[in-house]
Structure 1
Amino acid sequence: MIITDLKTHVLAAPLEQPFSFSQGWVHQRTAMLVEIHTDDGLVGWGECINHGLQPPQVAQAMVEHALKPLVIGRSIFDREVLWETMYNHTRPYGQKGAALFGIAAIDIALWDLAGKALGQPIHRLMGGAFRNEIRPYATGFYRREGGKYPEEVVEEALRHQANGYRA
């Protein structure tokens, strides 16, 4: 099962109400997806985090220009070799941030492909499941323009608790 193509997709949605955190104001939520095609018609998907204020196009450019050429023509089962190859290739200019985020997106897509090819859930390919369920948690508690801090985040926490969140 050989990788024949890799496509990237940037997703962005403006926020109705921007918020701030330690790095600045966030006006939109973004993601960059990786879509990998194989010679036998399988398609695997991976997602790249866009931390803080990073434009998703930064990771997209990293994947398209630095990483894609390294994986085309390779086997989907060479995950470890491909990870090391991508990391070592980008080491002089990317030991963190967009380079690692792009590598992670490709790695996730390769795991997705392996699971599909073998008809197995990814957790089984990674050595098994430690649990059958997870406890969801609420996140947020950001500052909002014109907001009252910390009063509004206390109210938010109480809403999450009322909705059944324990963490």
Structure 2
Amino acid sequence: MSTAFRIKDLRVYTIKPSATAGTYFKPGESRHWLVDTLISNPMSGYPKYREKRSSWGIGVLGAIVVEIETEDGTVGVATGSGGPPAAWMIKHHFGRFLVGEDARNVNMIWDQLYRSSLPYGRKGLPVMAISCVDLALWDLIGKVRSEPVYNLIGGLSRDEITFYCTGPEPTATKAMGFWGAKVPLPHSHFEGEEGLAK
């Protein structure tokens, strides 16, 4: 196995939650629209938690940064969600499946991480942690090969990609150059027909 691909070290960092992350704010609001505006969500059925996502803890865990380093010193980096619990899982559980392995074995590594986490999860936090490790592996392989990741997964399929933006102000997304907007719905089926009609 080439030392360029043999994993030597795995590092995980946590990032504190921030309600002001990003630059797309609703005019006149000091906090981020995604956290503190009325948006239909899994807790909308409980009036106490309907008004703000922050009231029930969305984003409370924070984020993580994963670095995977090979024996030749190349480092793959990725960011993800899950905060300290995901960081613990990656460092204390998943590390055994990474250090000493060939980073090119991304399918095998993903399968081992997923299967080994089955006793405590098939979705949610474990999958967020696995996702971040997976992204760091792809970043690492691309850096070692001096190729963009799209070349590693089949090559270029088009010259340009168009994007839409999720946000509360469709006119603002248009001004930023996006072709479309996905507007979050403030009301849901929890409010009955009246809520759905709003």
Report the counterpart of residue 12 of structure 2 in structure 1.
8
Q: In 1, Cα distance between the equivalents of 2:61 and 2:158?
A: 30
Contact 2:61 2:84 in 1 (8 A): no
Q: Superposition pairs for residues 14-33 of structure 1, below 5 Å? A: 14-15=19-20, 16-17=30-31, 18-20=35-37, 21=39, 22=41, 23=43, 24-25=53-54, 26=58, 30-33=62-65
Report the counterpart of residue 154 of structure 2 in structure 1.
127
Q: Superposition pairs for residues 52-67 of structure 1, below 5 Å? A: 56-67=83-94
> Structure 2: any 5+ residue segments left out of the alignment?
21-29, 44-52, 181-198
Most deviating of 124-133 and 28-37: 28-37
Contact 2:78 2:136 in 1 (8 A): yes
Q: Relative to 1, partners in 2 of residues 1:159 and 1:94: Cα closer, same or farther, differing over 3 Å? A: same
Residues paired across the two proteins, number? 148
Report the counterpart of residue 157 of structure 1 in structure 2.
170
Q: CA RMSD in A?
A: 2.1
| Structure whose CA Rg is larger | 2
Q: Superposition pairs for residues 2-151 of structure 1, below 5 Å? A: 2-12=6-16, 13-15=18-20, 16-17=30-31, 18-20=35-37, 21=39, 22=41, 23=43, 24-25=53-54, 26=58, 30-48=62-80, 50=81, 56-141=83-168
> Structure 1: any 5+ residue segments left out of the alignment?
142-155
SS of aligned partner of 2:164: coil
Q: In 2, Cα distance between the equivalents of 1:137 and 1:57?
A: 31
Q: Relative to 1, partners in 2 of residues 1:88 and 1:163: Cα closer, same or farther, differing over 3 Å? A: closer
4+ residue stretches of structure 1 with deviation over 6 A? none
TM-score (norm 1): 0.78
TM-score (norm 2): 0.67
Q: Relative to 1, partners in 2 of residues 1:135 and 1:30: Cα closer, same or farther, differing over 3 Å? A: farther
Most deviating of 27-36 and 58-67: 27-36
Shift in Å at residue 157 of structure 1? 1.8
Most deviating of 17-26 and 88-97: 17-26
Contact 2:61 2:83 in 1 (8 A): no
Shift in Å at residue 112 of structure 1? 1.1
- Deviation string 1:82-122 (CA, Å, 9 cap, x unpaired) is 11111110011121011111111111111111111112111
Structure (1 or 2) with the greater strand fraction: 1
Q: 1:62 corresponds to which letter in structure 2?
A: M
Shift in Å at residue 166 of structure 1? 2.1
Q: Relative to 1, partners in 2 of residues 1:56 and 1:140: Cα closer, same or farther, differing over 3 Å? A: farther
Shift in Å at residue 11 of structure 1? 2.1
